[in-house]
Structure 1
Amino acid sequence: MGDMADATRDVTLLPPADVTLALAVDPAEGLSLAEVAARREIHGPNELRATPPDPAWRRFLRQFADPLIYLLLAAIVISIIAWAVDGAVGLPVDATVIALIVAANAVIGYVQENRAERAVAALADLTATRSTVLRDGLLTTVASTDLVPGDILVLAEGDAVGADARLLTATALRVQEASLTGESEAAEKSPQPLDEPGALGDRANMVFKGTAVARGVGRAVVTATGMDTEMGRIATLLDETESEPTPLQREIARISTTLGLLVVVIAVVVMITTALVNSVRTLEGAVDVLLMGVSLAVAAVPEGLPAILSLVLAIGVQAMARRNAVMKDLHSVETLGSVSVICSDKTGTLTKNEMTLREIVTASGRVVLGGTGYTPVGEVRVDGDVEATLDEARRALVAGSVANDAQLSQQDGSWEIQGDPTEAAFLVAARKLDGAHELSSGHDRAAEVPFSSERRMMSVLSRHPARGHSVFAKGAADVLLERCVSEQVADGARPLTPGRRRELAAMVEELSGQGYRTLGVAWRPATATEAGTFDEPAERDLIFGGLVALLDPPREEAAAAIREAQRAGIRTVMITGDHPVTAARIAADLGITRPGDTAVITGRDLADVDPAELAEAARTANVYARVAPEHKLRVVDALQADRQVVAMTGDGVNDAPALKSADIGVAMGITGTEVTKEAGAMILGDDNYATIVAAVRQGRVIFDNIKKFMRYLLSSNMGEIATVFLGVTLGTVIGLADPANPGAAVVPLLATQILWINLVTDSGPALAMGVDPEIDDVMARPPRRADDRIIDRHMWQRILGIGALMGLLSLVVYDLTLPGGLLGGLDRAAPAGAELDTARTTVFTALVLMQLANALNSRSDRASVLDHLFTNRWLWVSLAGAAALQVAVVYVPVLQHAFGTAPLAWSHWAVAIGAGVVVILVEEAVKAARRAGGRSTRAARPT
């Protein structure tokens, strides 16, 4: 092991056998698990060295990096100076309390940021790249971070290369290396040694971490991992990349800036008004006014909003991941609520992807196989000449089983597959039909032309000890028939006449109309000399072996999910490579199409239409069949040109451009390649269409919850602004004054009380609303437009209206509990000399209770507060906690001294609670009127 690095320096110049010898690995068996563990101890995980995270102390100090916090810190200094000037008697209470609140806010922000980072890290683990390797003689899939030098990589089209590796074998292998070399064309690869060391782009016998297999298959031995890879050498460049803010992030920043400017203006007006009305002349009075203004500005601007937003998104996305929809980017959730079209593949997404080979149609008849799934048990029925038909069917299954990359194995009594379900169906059928599996055994693949979505077929050159060399092929029936010159019959081969070709085409139409997926199989004798030149031209002069019909039944939940999407104003568009008749049948069965809808559009149709015609067709066509990957990109572009927000599914390497172009690229988690998983914004853990619709619903719920806590935070903060502003500007007008200083206006809240309200009512309820279950039926409304503001005019009206209501109610509470004013101080419970403290405490408590009531109101802008009242236990925990803290600040002596509160009598509590009830009742009336208006609008709308 110690000489391994030296031995592998010039691996490009060594034959493959010498490379594996130097790396001490058997290419036919791979490394043992024990050896993998030992090498991982030496080389470490296969990952790039990330920028070292900031230490905890720095992340904590970052919580203070806010201009408003700077104002508070300045206010603390000024308060201490004033306390010192006044003789430094006792403790500087105001400065101490403000410092503690600032520290508490920093702790809360730090905890929220840590939780969000941990949640994002957990999501990153779910989307980690995986690699197929050979270990202990078995193929297995592992996280690419687990690769070690000496691992045998098994590469196929669509794989992301997990480490730098020296090729051992390669068939038609081309690798996209633009991330390293800048070359847009995929590089052709070969295992042959180089004559001399070459530049990175010239190392044709190497594959590199971070690149992608564009075509073909191969095997390679890992030579470098982690920072020793070519990608590791340029990893520092990656750290310089900065991501652009999303529309939601930009809107949050814009709201915070606008609100900050507005609040600063109001705070300045309040401070000037207070100073003028009270004729402030002393340093202590000036400091009090300054503290109040600064505290108002700090409390009114939700500076913790970005942290709460990130945490709510992370928690919501984790919940989606538990339901098999893994979002790679938190802020892609905002796009989910705008999706208006879901373009979905058929196989495995709308269907079960449990391919069962049901019929084999040959020249002499047909064989019908029973059974479902991958257990090779089922009844065999023959229609036609039994002996000839069975012989032809066996030959057909041999061709499909040899031209095959899947594996079927029995483990612990159950049958499992690895690879494509369609290919596995041939292996299962071969075991059901006596003799077919035995005839398929013993073949050694000498060369191959791999399957690609453009070719829609694959072929292999096989060597058998007894039967010599043969070419076997399988693929789309129409593609394969073009390469066939004859047809297999029991006693030989007969020419394929035009009439017979028409009969086979009609059979394909018939089977497709029954919902079957049809494939053809073919073969021909070959020679060993073809191995060195085996490529697409070798796929000629084939003997057609027959048609196979595979059934992949629609998912039961897919039809319901499509109806749910339609109810939400979302079109479902099926895009498949299958036969148009099969696609039309499945689409009709699932409810994607209805009688009279636009006919199925084929890939050939797409190739012949101009952009204007395609744009017109895209408005109505819901089924595209026999399409190539580049056609998917055209469909996406056409829909987006029609101002649709598109979610597009994909699994193959050539689907990546369409996934990147779509607003939400959806990669298949089971059948999808690593390339599509990297290109997509979402990965489906179960490849199920219903999961996409469920993700859209969850995305809408998350977006609703963001609006909920923003409505709550902003309206509650507006309530604080309105309380202070109205108290200062209208208090003297209605005759409210300090009983001990009748000429002076009184401020309804102290600076420390404003900060306390911000501390106990903001974070807890806001976070709880961020995980609120669905209140309104989010799928009963159309998708939100991509350019819709998160806070629209209606929401601003509600925010300002609720804030004004709280301010007015606070003024009424003040008038009820302070002598003088319009109501004359109806409360008489306050002890003499303590009227102002009691009145302030009552307003203080009333405002806290009104904000807690506002949390219940903010769960919906239409539904009654009684709907789903107790479904969010976290909200009730946060409300109870805030209420308990408020009781403590009213009755605990040390807190009374710190926050200038006085104990309240039952009458004060009745007034404060009454204010909270009024907030609920007024909002209930507004919601009832809105619901009635909505019903009237729907009733008047023609059907």
Structure 2
Amino acid sequence: MIQEKELVRGLSTAEAERRLKTFGLNELSHKKRVSPIIIFFSQFNDFMVWVLMTATVISGLMGEKADAITILIIIIINGILGFIQEFKTEKSLEALKSLAAPTCKVYRDGNVQVISAKNLTLGDIIILESGDRVPADGELVQCNSLMVDESLLTGESVGVNKGLGKKESNLYMGTTVLKGKGLIKVTQVGMKTEMGNIANLLQNIEEEKSPLKERLESLGKVLVFICLGICAVVTALGILRGNDLAEMFLLGVSLAVAAIPEGLPAIVTVSLALGVSRMLKRNALVRKLPAVETLGCTSVICSDKTGTLTQNKMTVKEVYMNERIYNVNQEKLPSNPMLARAFVFCNDTNYNFGEKDVEKALYGDPTETALIKLFFREIGALRGFLSMSHRVYDIPFDSSRKMMSVIVKENGKETCYIKGAPERLLERCSHIYEEGKVKTLTYQKKKQIISFVEAMSNRALRCLAAAYKDSNLERGEDLEKNLIFIGVAGIIDPPRPEVKDAVLRCRLAGIKPIMITGDHKNTAYAIAKELNICNTIDQVMTGEEIEVISDKELFSKVQKTRVFARVSPSHKLRIVKAFKKNSNIVAMTGDGVNDAPAIKEADIGVSMGVSGTDVTKEASSMILMDDNFATIVAAVEEGRTIYSNIRKFIRYLLSCNLGEVLTMFLASIFYLPTPLAPIQILFVNLATDGLPAIALGVDPADKDIMKQKPREKTESVFSRGLTEKIMVRGSLIGVCTLLSFLVGIHFGFDLNTSRTLALSTLVMSQLIHVFECRSERHSIFEIKFLTNPYLVIAVCTSITMLCLILYVPFLSKIFHTTALTIGQWLIVLFFSGTIALINSVYLYIKVK
């Protein structure tokens, strides 16, 4: 048996590092990462690329070597751009996975430390509590009412009770602590654990696909067939008119490559990944990519109060004892050793024994540390009394009981101390401790205490009562009966200063902010009113009220309720279901293991990064790294922005592709010369489709994006007039490109010059259109150009590329272009800019 001193000391840092080198990291072998070389060459493993390369070879064999080399260069450049996108996405997702890695509490150098689970090694002493995931295989060395879910390994859903010195004393990586607490000594790590035996199964789990990406992939397949059909028609009509067979074949392939938005799903993934990275900078870690889409639909945010809406910096402000309330900041508390002992001993605060300053030495639940800070001085030797050796038995806090009990041994005598919700403790008390004497607790005295508690709650104080018992200390349910009431501590947790503004932003965005708390109704109402979450006490509902009504009645009541007080985790699940039944998209926060069902039921499950348990994090879609409500609102805004940006580049890509196809199709229908050479079509695909589309994916949000109502979850990405915008603008691009070509023919320009006019008009139309796509509600005149420098750089790059193939003789010869004069540029700008100008003026007038 491990000695007590060794138990709380754990390994030294030096010894832990030595063992890590010997036994390796505590992690399962990862799926082999795809090398950058394979990622690069996979960019060319595409049907359209192979067709284009075949056409290039044919073109080269027929003597068009310059065209063949140029097309090959374009293919390689496109491959490099695709590689950069995919490689950056992989890196981003890897970084996010590492940030989401589990942590655990261990004893190192005599102190409790929170470390990454992968840095555990043999001999480490791990502290386990309800809701924790066991990070390595180990053997119990100390436990109290410990029950573990081992269904991951055994398939049995019934929890297993653990104990010392028996078969059930072993714990295994990946299992979950359902209740109780304990210490385990690590016996196996990494691939040598029981979990290591099924590691290969874990490697085969595929990443979740975004529903939007799946829909766009389906759309892409439809567009492929449509575009291939049009390209076949263009090619056939050209051949029938007597055009060169090889040239028309290359034209058809080039048009197909340019017209088919094969990169659309990839750009969606890149946009989502970049959005996830931006969210991380705002302290929101997204665990599941599809959650980003759902965030933009959120219409209800159900949030815990403590630590999320408030600062989680608890201080005791008032204390009730001896028939009166004492203000801690204004008067000295009279001596009450039983009250001090109850709040200090019945407490799970951790203590850094190497730190002399008590303020810095304490860490753990803020409510419990606040009690320690106020009452420890009356006891004295805090270090000794906080040691586990003085606690001989305990019943951990349970959200349904709302109490915690411990039996402490002092000077050979055992005493039970209890703390919890005042109304729950009063039910179990038969006596009261006042001014050093134990008296009978009468019904009138109970009513008086309840009135004092209500008054404290009305001042937004969280009230915790204390009681004790020094006889009949039978282990079990009877332990918490016939108690002696001592007093109540009123603890204040002020609201976070940024939350009030976040609540206002929610309201403007059509989102209902809902507070859910275990606190007293009056305490919850006082905080909620200060934050403008609710206006009247009628908007507050308690767990007791939820308990006695049906789901149908709850469904009706949640529509007007803004605060739920004194609720249990089972109530949270019913609340989420009721809101969802009301056709809401619900985001739900939680930290405890019992919150996991409600978090999983919610459309967006949000766990606490600081105070959340491993089980809750596992069930959630998003983790708040700072436990802050304002971070949820920021994530919702980011989710809306990402979805908006996806619509932007869908609008841009499909409009441009439609314009290209329509230009060639109309020319074929009207028996006109082909307005664009194959190499020019490929150039347009390179110059305008890639960089500007990606730059739209990082476009900042519209200034009024959080003033719009949440979109429906089932809403099509083409809803709200997007299809009409694509069809109209794409048609205009195609018609204007063809008209500029015809103007060139009309003025007697040669075919290359006329095609150069068409090419320049097509490119400039698309580059002007990309700025129109930045907003669906505002015109170009209202959008500041420099708010997206990446887009400006992308457009300037595309214009530079156009000028190079027009004015550099070597390139001009390859792309069959001519140097345009000022007069010819005016023709280009007229056709590319006039329609955009008219469209912007119309939108400006319409919005105004």
TM-score by length of 1: 0.86
Which position in structure 2 is the counterpart of 1:677? 617
Match of 1:815 among 726, 731, 742: 742
- SS of 2:658's equivalent in the other structure is helix
Which position in structure 2 is the counterpart of 1:873? 789
Residue 707 of structure 1 pairs with residue 647 of structure 2: yes
Cα deviation for residue 124 of structure 1 reads: 1.4
Which position in structure 2 is the counterpart of 1:648? 588
Matched to 1:310, the amino acid is T
- Whether the 8 Å contact between 1:448 and 1:535 is mirrored in structure 2 is no
- SS of 1:223's equivalent in the other structure is strand
Which position in structure 1 is the counterpart of 2:668? 728
- SS of 2:59's equivalent in the other structure is helix
The 2-side partners of 1:631 and 1:416 are apart by 36
Match of 1:579 among 516, 520, 523: 520
Which position in structure 2 is the counterpart of 1:373? none
- SS of 1:686's equivalent in the other structure is coil
**Aligned residue pairs, count:** 844
The 2-side partners of 1:227 and 1:905 are apart by 71
- Whether the 8 Å contact between 1:16 and 1:191 is mirrored in structure 2 is no
* Deviation larger for 325-334 or 626-635: 325-334
Match of 1:366 among 325, 333, 340: 325
The 1-side partners of 2:361 and 2:661 are apart by 65
Which position in structure 2 is the counterpart of 1:754? 681
- Whether the 8 Å contact between 2:358 and 2:373 is mirrored in structure 1 is no
**Deviations, residues 721-768 of structure 1 (Å, cap 9, x unaligned):** 1221223323x4xxxxxxxxxxxx411111111111111212211121
1:89-488 mapped onto 2 (5 Å cutoff): 89=63, 92-194=65-167, 204-242=168-206, 245-276=209-240, 278-280=241-243, 285-370=244-329, 380-381=331-332, 390-392=334-336, 394-407=337-350, 415=360, 417-431=362-376, 444-464=390-410, 466=411, 468-488=413-433
Residue 546 of structure 1 pairs with residue 490 of structure 2: no
- SS of 2:758's equivalent in the other structure is helix
Which position in structure 1 is the counterpart of 2:763? 848
The 2-side partners of 1:570 and 1:556 are apart by 20
In structure 2, do the counterparts of structure 1 residues 871 and 414 end up closer, same or farther at CA, with 3 Å as the change threshold?
farther
**Deviations, residues 813-861 of structure 1 (Å, cap 9, x unaligned):** 112222xxxxx22xx6x5xxxx111111221122111111111111002
The 2-side partners of 1:552 and 1:121 are apart by 37
Matched to 1:93, the amino acid is A
- Whether the 8 Å contact between 2:539 and 2:560 is mirrored in structure 1 is no
Cα deviation for residue 324 of structure 1 reads: 1.1
- Whether the 8 Å contact between 2:341 and 2:379 is mirrored in structure 1 is no
Matched to 2:178, the amino acid is A
1:660-675 mapped onto 2 (5 Å cutoff): 660-675=600-615
- Whether the 8 Å contact between 2:213 and 2:268 is mirrored in structure 1 is no
The 1-side partners of 2:538 and 2:210 are apart by 36
- Whether the 8 Å contact between 1:354 and 1:552 is mirrored in structure 2 is yes
- SS of 1:812's equivalent in the other structure is helix
* Deviation larger for 255-264 or 106-115: 255-264
- SS of 1:586's equivalent in the other structure is helix
- SS of 1:26's equivalent in the other structure is helix
In structure 2, do the counterparts of structure 1 residues 168 and 136 end up closer, same or farther at CA, with 3 Å as the change threshold?
same
Which position in structure 2 is the counterpart of 1:507? 452
In structure 2, do the counterparts of structure 1 residues 247 and 365 end up closer, same or farther at CA, with 3 Å as the change threshold?
same
Cα deviation for residue 579 of structure 1 reads: 1.0
**Deviations, residues 771-805 of structure 1 (Å, cap 9, x unaligned):** 11122411111100001011226101111111111
The 2-side partners of 1:915 and 1:676 are apart by 58
In structure 2, do the counterparts of structure 1 residues 55 and 554 end up closer, same or farther at CA, with 3 Å as the change threshold?
closer
- Whether the 8 Å contact between 2:779 and 2:841 is mirrored in structure 1 is no
- SS of 1:131's equivalent in the other structure is strand
Matched to 2:713, the amino acid is A
- Whether the 8 Å contact between 1:862 and 1:930 is mirrored in structure 2 is no
In structure 2, do the counterparts of structure 1 residues 175 and 438 end up closer, same or farther at CA, with 3 Å as the change threshold?
closer
* Deviation larger for 858-867 or 586-595: 586-595
- SS of 1:472's equivalent in the other structure is strand
Cα deviation for residue 438 of structure 1 reads: 9.4
**Deviations, residues 98-157 of structure 1 (Å, cap 9, x unaligned):** 222222211211111000011111111222111111111110101111111111101111
The 2-side partners of 1:243 and 1:619 are apart by 36
Which position in structure 2 is the counterpart of 1:199? none
* Deviation larger for 907-916 or 232-241: 907-916
Which position in structure 2 is the counterpart of 1:566? 507
- Whether the 8 Å contact between 1:130 and 1:143 is mirrored in structure 2 is yes
The 2-side partners of 1:490 and 1:643 are apart by 56
Match of 2:443 among 484, 495, 498: 498
The 2-side partners of 1:407 and 1:368 are apart by 27
In structure 2, do the counterparts of structure 1 residues 414 and 27 end up closer, same or farther at CA, with 3 Å as the change threshold?
closer
The 1-side partners of 2:2 and 2:400 are apart by 31
Which position in structure 1 is the counterpart of 2:701? 774
- SS of 2:195's equivalent in the other structure is helix
The 2-side partners of 1:242 and 1:323 are apart by 27
The 2-side partners of 1:438 and 1:26 are apart by 17
The 2-side partners of 1:451 and 1:67 are apart by 61
Which position in structure 2 is the counterpart of 1:801? 728
* Deviation larger for 50-59 or 224-233: 50-59
The 2-side partners of 1:54 and 1:589 are apart by 53
Flag structure 1 segments of 5+ consecutive residues without an equivalent. 1-14, 84-88, 195-203, 371-378, 383-389, 733-744, 819-823, 933-943
The 1-side partners of 2:596 and 2:361 are apart by 29
The 2-side partners of 1:467 and 1:482 are apart by 30
1:26-37 mapped onto 2 (5 Å cutoff): 26-37=6-17
Residue 41 of structure 1 pairs with residue 4 of structure 2: no
- Whether the 8 Å contact between 1:776 and 1:863 is mirrored in structure 2 is no
- Whether the 8 Å contact between 1:889 and 1:895 is mirrored in structure 2 is yes
- SS of 1:572's equivalent in the other structure is strand
> What fraction of aligned residue pairs are identical, expressed as a percent?
38
- Whether the 8 Å contact between 1:598 and 1:622 is mirrored in structure 2 is no
Cα deviation for residue 471 of structure 1 reads: 0.9
- Superposed CA RMSD: 2.2
TM-score by length of 2: 0.96
The 2-side partners of 1:440 and 1:496 are apart by 30
Cα deviation for residue 641 of structure 1 reads: 1.3
Match of 1:915 among 802, 827, 831: 831
- SS of 1:451's equivalent in the other structure is strand
* Deviation larger for 59-68 or 629-638: 59-68
In structure 2, do the counterparts of structure 1 residues 657 and 438 end up closer, same or farther at CA, with 3 Å as the change threshold?
closer
Residue 862 of structure 1 pairs with residue 807 of structure 2: no
In structure 2, do the counterparts of structure 1 residues 48 and 435 end up closer, same or farther at CA, with 3 Å as the change threshold?
closer
The 2-side partners of 1:675 and 1:396 are apart by 35
- Whether the 8 Å contact between 2:20 and 2:121 is mirrored in structure 1 is yes
The 2-side partners of 1:900 and 1:185 are apart by 75
The 2-side partners of 1:590 and 1:892 are apart by 64
In structure 2, do the counterparts of structure 1 residues 706 and 538 end up closer, same or farther at CA, with 3 Å as the change threshold?
same
In structure 2, do the counterparts of structure 1 residues 438 and 397 end up closer, same or farther at CA, with 3 Å as the change threshold?
farther
Cα deviation for residue 440 of structure 1 reads: 5.7
The 1-side partners of 2:124 and 2:314 are apart by 32
Which position in structure 2 is the counterpart of 1:737? none
- SS of 2:9's equivalent in the other structure is coil
Matched to 2:614, the amino acid is E
- Whether the 8 Å contact between 1:363 and 1:487 is mirrored in structure 2 is no
- Whether the 8 Å contact between 1:397 and 1:436 is mirrored in structure 2 is no
In structure 2, do the counterparts of structure 1 residues 439 and 69 end up closer, same or farther at CA, with 3 Å as the change threshold?
closer
- Whether the 8 Å contact between 2:39 and 2:87 is mirrored in structure 1 is no
The 1-side partners of 2:578 and 2:392 are apart by 44
Cα deviation for residue 881 of structure 1 reads: 1.0
Cα deviation for residue 599 of structure 1 reads: 4.2
